[in-house]
Chains A and B, each alone.
Chain A
Amino acid sequence: MKITVDGREVSVPGGQLLIKAAEENGTYIPRFCWHPRMKPVGMCRMCLVEIEGPRGRLLTTSCTTSVTDGMVVHTRSDVVKKAQEGVLEFLLVNHPLDCPVCDKGGECPLQDQTLAHGPGESRFVEEKRHFEKPIPISDLVLLDRERCILCARCTRFSDEISGDPLIEFIDRGNYTQINTFPDEPFSSYFSGNTVQLCPVGALTATPYRFRARPWDLEAVESTCPHCSVGCRVSVHASQNRVLRLVGVDVAATNQGWLCDKGRFGFEYLRSPDRLSTPLLRGDDGELHEVGWAEALDAVAARLGAVIAQRGPGAVAGLGGARSTNEEAYAFAKLLRGVIGTGNLDASLGDDPGPGLLVGVPTRATIDDLERAKTILVWGPDLKEELPVLHLRVRRAATALGATVVVVHPRATGLDRDAAHTVRYRPGEGAALLKRLAAGEGELAQVREALSAGPVVAIVGRTGLAESADLAEAVAGFALTLPDAKVMPVGRRGNLLGALDMGMSPHLLPGRVSADDENARDALATAWGAGVAAPGHDVAGILTGMADGSIGALLLLGCDPLADHPDRKNAAAAFARGVFIVSLDIFRNESNRRADVVLPLDTFTEVEGTVTNLEGRAQKTNRIVPGVGASRPAVEVLEDLAVRLGGSIGGSASTLAKEIAAVAPAYAAVTWDVLDWGVGRDGIVAAGGSFTHAPMAAAKDTAAGDLTLHLGRVLYDAGTMVSAGPSLVGLAQEPAAHLHPDDAARLGFASGDRVTVTGNGGSAVMPVALDRTLARGTLYVPFNLGATIGNGLDVKVTKA
């Protein structure tokens, strides 16, 4: 339809909000409370405009008015200008003159709009209202109620978007204030978003408070590395230090939001514990700092010896899921091409499996959630593992009318907005799937809900004690549903990217099967070197290390000893005297046993691409240097390759071009298109001949009295959390969660200290009662320091 704004006729979509229609056509109407991603409330009154009507001009808020055909709008009339001056003068009546000490100064909508639309002075000579300031409302967020202009952006975000309505208005009129409920701090995983969208300095973030002025900051867009959602961030740095991350609105992925782990989880970059010098284990058995040349020579010598004596098949490589695509590609090329081994894996055995992740037929995008009638979530608790994906599913359920079905051993963050929740205990998933597929008994309604297409199924492992086979079977079932698309999910940031780069025994770069001899030959031609046939995956590699058939292990940014769910297998592997080289950024359990440790540049220090769980390739960019003598992985791997008599080919940017040439699924992915072209929102990799038909049959393993649900939590003992002062305190102590009936049956009360014994060890922890847990299940969060292995059978005894 056509509307006239300040005398200019423009074409706008019917039903659009006037404030948005005007902005998209070049007329910016000032505002505070309106946010493009939330419902309008018309509270601040800054967006007042005059609209012509039968009874003259009506002064009304443009954020609550939808355009109608022929609407005539005045945004700069004398009445509007006086109203704008009036609103700003009113806002400044009680707003404290804090600019010199306020974080928001320099990027403050109140400052900006006062300069543009406000009166030159305030005529208020009375006493402003006062509050104690600031007050912490959580560990990460501080509230200054004097600065607050009561726009309700933070409360609306917490209610509408994150579903954590832990902040609310109390009192009335001039004494209205934002506050938390008694004894309930604002501990939402998404609290940092309110700091970003607060239009004044009322909400400030503890990690950033008083650190910088916006005009001192340099910025570059990048992709958050913490999980596989791949949220778009802007990295802000000053004097070679990253000071904060802010969310960037990409419609296809995070829509501007970040979780707090992603937002505040950058402090590890400058942790004093970061590796900054190569380490070489000496004859005294200790790791000593050495120069790069000495370290690389040592690696090449020992590797060369293993290859010469026992063949390339005695070498293995693990990692890449925390690296860029170019780094993973370089690693895969070093292993398969230069060294000639097919023993390589980016998976650490804690995901649904490379076949399903890389080759699922009809993969869903995050945007498909917007169009889905039904969404099935049978996998991890998205709120804990993939928080912004949780927000997108929540949006589909609450704003777009999708029916959500959640299947999980205990309550997840989505339960409240789900139409159906199904409980089962780990180890009995196959039987449940069978009953669900048949719509048996109480599952009839759920089955019926699932037959309303289009269906999007988010499929993964609910916990690490559960087999990947179940996720396969669920995916297979989901694909039979009407108009169904499947999103298999693994957690690590670039797991799919690394697999796509060929960091898997049966995969070549670009989603091509490594079992295809012709494909290997074609790649060999491109590489100018042989391409090894498939070897062992991570399970086979660990077994090979334990039984002696693997003599050398290269680790690229991974810690199998801590992260592989099968602790026994991993421990046995590392107990042997295998030659271990670790390229990483921190000391960890695995590289404490390494012979050589090489310090790497990481997130914000290297440029490259990463691939999220949709297969969307996005840029990750460099803005600060590494620490000490750390170097980019691609350079280190090239130096190694050269010493071994081969070559990987060049810098990351050169490799990016090579990837586009040899990896079919990545043919359209170039840095230019991602940075400057139509790929600004990322490019979804598509193509490649590899497909994977999900295995239909999963088997339930015999289960005892209690089976183990080994789910993850957002704040755990992972290095990127524990090396950051702002987040380290948020990881909780592990507890043994039991349903009250099971606890009563076993004679435990809440708080009793118990010993939990699994197949990989035992640990002492307190009992916690969880009414939402499936009966016969013990829930112990993974990676909180209680290492009990990942076997389904567990025993709990009084400590």
Chain B
Amino acid sequence: MTDRILTTRMEAHPADSHTMSRYEATGGYTALRKALGMKPEEIVAEVKASNLRGRGGAGFPTGVKWGFLAPARPRYLVINADESEPGTFKDRQLLERDPHQMIEGAIISAFALAVNHAFVFIRGEYSRSARRVQQAVDEAYAVGYLGRDILGSGFALDVTVHLGAGAYICGEETAMLNALEGKRGEPRIKPPFPAVAGLYAKPTIVNNVETISNIPWIITNGGAAYDAIGPEGSRGTRLLSLSGHVVKPGNYEIVMGMSWRDLIYGVGGGIRSGKGLKCWIPGGASAPWFTPEVLDEPVTLDDIARLGSMAGSGAVVVMDETTNVVAAALSIVRFFAHESCGQCTPCREGTTWLQRILERVLAGRGRPADLDLLLDVCDNISPGLRWPPAMTTICPLGPSAVSPITSIMQHFRDEVAAMIPGGVTAGV
């Protein structure tokens, strides 16, 4: 059973897995040669058959997304390398250690989608990633995998590497498109969706780095082979970024289906300093938290959703018994308040308001009314405090800030109440 797709090369050749010479020497660009001999529809069919789901956070089936692309020309492919969800550092590893894998995946995808210009949007802070990707792009042009008439196929593709300027919100696909167009990085109203009207109002597909990096393997081995890995709904392998109070934090490529216990205590080596587990975030800062009751539940996209959270960007942040949950929640809320684009009222005002309340509570200046106030402000951003969240906002950033607060109020309300001077009587 295959348990590595994305990290094989970088594990075997840590010194130079990012170079063209190593890439070609280890089977690189053979998938491209095979793909150029296929019909574009066949490639799309393989991706659909693989049941590959997007690895950026939403988990939308990639083949289905590709099928939405409108017929108008020109079309664009944008690779989302704006990895900014707190706790996520997997794309960085792919960009720095195996950029050609992503580029080969991009060329195959562009060929399948009749795209002649692709963009890689890398967050500006990832300077080594940007250097490595640009170097790989330059190498690909030099050999002829990019540019005119690739490998004599008649297919042409240009790749532009573009750096972000320090905004998490540019990871939202329509904000990314606005940023690429030179505008403020603000999400657009949807519909229209990018597949219909995206970059420069043309049909555009935006895919995550990890998603695209899977494409060469799928072409080489076939979609059915990918679909044979892992449980239903979570096919293939997945890169998880494990961090927090674990003994062995890091990026791990796993096949989904193990339990959280296996992940945290097995893969992650357990809690450091022998402390007890308090809670963990299963999928990035936007995800509601899990507590030890669900330790034996499987780590799959559908099971996590069933339990009221999301696999998201694959970032697992583990918190032990010493964690002040209010401080932890504040850390996340402060992030979202800082990153709010400011377009819509509830997020612009609400996230900072939530931050101020949590700061007061943490500083010992909370009031009894603040507990319900926190939840009601959250309700005005995400009505019903449901999962998946409803929104009064333009994009899900607002509701993301709500997750840590509903989590601590749901699981640790007494702890929060204990920080209010004078205490909080029931019913207040």
Which A residues fall within an 8 A CB radius of B?
40-46, 48, 59, 61, 64, 79, 82-83, 85-87, 89-91, 93-94, 123-124, 126-127, 149-150, 169, 171-176
Contact = CB atoms under 8 A, between A and B. Distances in A.
Given A45-B392, A126-B357, A91 B351 contact: no
Closest 4 CB pairs of A and B: A86-B380, A176-B342, A173-B340, A90-B349
Contacts of A126: 353, 356-357, 360
Interface size class of B (residues with CB under 8 A): 20 to 34
B357 A150 contact: no
Given A59-B392, A82-B383, A172 B342 contact: yes
B158 interface: no
Given A150-B342, A174-B352, 20 more contacts: A45-B344, A45-B345, A45-B392, A48-B392, A79-B383, A83-B380, A85-B380, A87-B345, A87-B346, A87-B380, A89-B380, A90-B345, A90-B349, A93-B353, A126-B360, A150-B343, A172-B339, A173-B348, A174-B337, A176-B348
B390 A173 contact: no
A44 B345 contact: yes
B167 interface: yes
A86 B380 CA distance: 5
A124 B370 CA distance: 10
Nearest to B372: A123
A173 B392 contact: no
Contacts of A40: 189
A155 B392 CA distance: 23
B338 interface: yes
A86 B348 contact: no
B342 A93 contact: no
A87 B344 CA distance: 9
Contacts of B343: 41, 43, 150
Contact of A91 (B337, B349, B352, B383): B349
A125 to B, nearest CB: 8
Contact of A90 (B184, B338, B346): B346
Contacts of A85: 380
B341 interface: yes
Contacts of B350: 90
9 contacts: A44-B344, A59-B392, A64-B189, A82-B383, A83-B383, A90-B353, A90-B380, A93-B353, A94-B349
A91 B184 contact: no
B363 to A, nearest CB: 12
B140 interface: no
A41 B350 CA distance: 20
A43 B351 contact: no
Contacts of A79: 383
Interface of B: 167, 184, 189, 337-346, 348-353, 356-357, 360, 369, 373, 379-381, 383, 390-394
A43 B349 contact: no
Given A90-B349, A126-B353, A150-B348, A174 B380 contact: no
B353 A45 contact: no
B339 A91 contact: no
B189 A173 contact: no
A169 B344 CA distance: 13
A636 B332 CA distance: 78
A169 B185 CA distance: 11
A655 B343 CA distance: 56
A55 to B, nearest CB: 11
A173 B380 contact: no
B343 to A, nearest CB: 5
A521 to B, nearest CB: 66
A93 B342 CA distance: 14
Nearest to B359: A126
A40 B188 CA distance: 11
Contacts of A150: 342-343, 345, 348
Nearest to B394: A42
Nearest to B349: A90
A59 B390 contact: yes
Nearest to A42: B189
Contacts of B369: 123
Contact of A83 (B189, B373, B392): B392
B337 A173 contact: yes
Nearest to A172: B342
Nearest to B390: A59
B131 to A, nearest CB: 27
A434 B147 CA distance: 49
Given A45-B345, A79-B383, A87 B392 contact: yes
B27 to A, nearest CB: 44
A492 B394 CA distance: 48
A577 to B, nearest CB: 68
A44 B189 CA distance: 13
Contacts of B349: 90-91, 93-94, 174
